[in-house]
Amino acid sequence: MGGPIDKSRKAIKKEQHDSSPPVAEFEGPQSHLGAGAGKGVLGTHVPLLKEQQETEAERGHPVKLEVHPAQAANKRPRAGQPGSSVPPEDVHTVEEGGREVKLPLEVGTFMECEWKQGQYHRAKVIERRKRSDAPDYEYYVHYINFNRRMDAWTTLDHVDLATVATSEAELSAVVTESGGRTRNQKRKIEDVHEEEEHHGEFDQNALREHEEFTKVKNVERIELGRYEMETWYFSPLPQEYNMCKMLYFCEYDLMFFKERQQMLQHLKRSRIQHPPGDEIYRNANVSMFEIDGKKEKLFCQNLCYLAKLFLDHKTLFYDVDLFLFYVLCECDERGAHVVGYFSKEKSSEDGYNLACILTLPPYQRKGYGKFLISISYELSKIENKVGTPERPLSDLGLVSYRGYWTRELLKVLKDYQGTISLKELSEMTAIKVEDVVSTLQHLNLIQYQKGQHVICAARKLIERNLKEAGSAGLAVDPSKIVWTPYHAEREYANYRG
């Protein structure tokens, strides 16, 4: 998501739209953002069928099967690409702060790098490449203690060469010796540190391997409809789209192009102004479409590519056939514009009602993330099932879900007369019993007495906790849902004719 500068953390409307990014309303997965690990479909690779290859060619996409990030990482880099070797004539030294510094800086070098408004923060060089507009190099840096989405390309103009070091310990010593930052500067920087996301789906070796393959964002910015957005993470796009400064997405079918003119020509030929699939919800200017990954493979593949630019550490899954995608849109006279989505397995043995979730940066902080969580449970109620998000949840994802569970459970308890069991509470809210128990325990509203859980909820305590849970965001009107649950046997019968 850009270098630690404000614009890297927000979507920029063409009219200078100014919206700060949450780490996703489902912060952590939404942006967070995926809810669980395991079978998430982010970064999905789908082998193209012959007819899909023809469609790709017609729409301006080179037809090429995907390259896994691990394979792409092993390819020899081209000149000017990250990882290129340095010609001997480019190597030289400069004197800075009484020290000789060898340029270009090596990968793995530590130094202080300008973050914003003249403030410097400790950073590590992750990659380097020859600049196309100047004779020197630019560096892809990770700002220490910041989320990876803050990583960005920078130039020597923004590097304090007097602090260059080979290790973080040496950097600390150099900064201390030079007096370091003022207390005020330190406080300002500490205020913007992001809480590190929890990546429970990876063991340490897998996590290191994942971060190595995805260490450099391969697309810097995208255009989707009237918004331009700085990307946050690597997405396993086809190789020919790697290292694009800008990628242009059609806002209706999510086909993507290197050139804006290609995208505009595609738009002229396009006959649809909304996502494919069935519209299952419409209330004022908000719509939701259900899309079967088996029936609309190309759209769902493109959605996964787009989502992966804003979600980190999701297990790659190589088939969208087994998933349903629920795409949320804002509607106007120009059509339906993608706001976010969630996906879920068609048949989950674990009772998951949500796999991945994302609200795009321009639409965050508007209650859409809470809407997506809420409607996933409304669909579970129609199915007469209890649901739960795919595990593990990120720390911020747990906060988002716990807020929803708190509001729903306490609304029932607040007005309920008489006794109620945990199972009844679960059935009334479609929230899994384990989530009911963990939420009430977190609120100190449940006790374990004589071998069973007993809810102890005074009215004043309920009202206080409801207030602390915050707003429900954009409300779902269940009466506006027009939806039939997916039925595998019925689909098979239709297929057989």
Catalytic sites, residue numbers? 390
458-462 LR contacts (CB < 8 Å, sep 24+):
459/414, 462/410, 462/413, 462/414
* Residue whose tokens read 């990250």: 82
357 beta partners: 342
Please give the structure tokens belonging to residue 311.
């979600």
Report the distance separating Cα 140 and Cα 459, nearest Å.
54
- CA atoms within 13 A of residue 392's CA, in its CB half-sphere: 11
Supply φ then ψ for residue 300, to 5 degrees.
-65, -35
The answer to whether the CB of 26 falls within 8 A of the CB of 369 is yes
Q: Alpha carbon of 115 to those of 146, 150, 303, 334: distances in Å? A: 11, 10, 32, 39
For residue 392, whether the previous peptide bond is cis, meaning omega lies within 30 degrees of 0, is: yes
Angle (CA) 409 412 414, round 5°: 105
Give the CA dihedral 486, 492, 495, 497, nearest 10 degrees.
Answer: -110
| Lookup result for tokens 């700060």 | 20
Contact 124, 144 (CB under 8 A): yes
| HSE-up of residue 22 (Cα within 13 Å, Cβ side) | 24
Dihedral angle of Cα 478, 290, 224, 50, to the nearest 10 degrees: 180
At residue 357, what is the residue type? I
Nearest-5° Cα angle at 124, 123 to 127: 130
CA 312 to chain centre: 6
Strand-pair partners of 461: none
Phi, psi of 452 (to 5 degrees): -145, 160
Q: Which of 78, 29, 102 is nearest to 399 (CA)?
A: 29
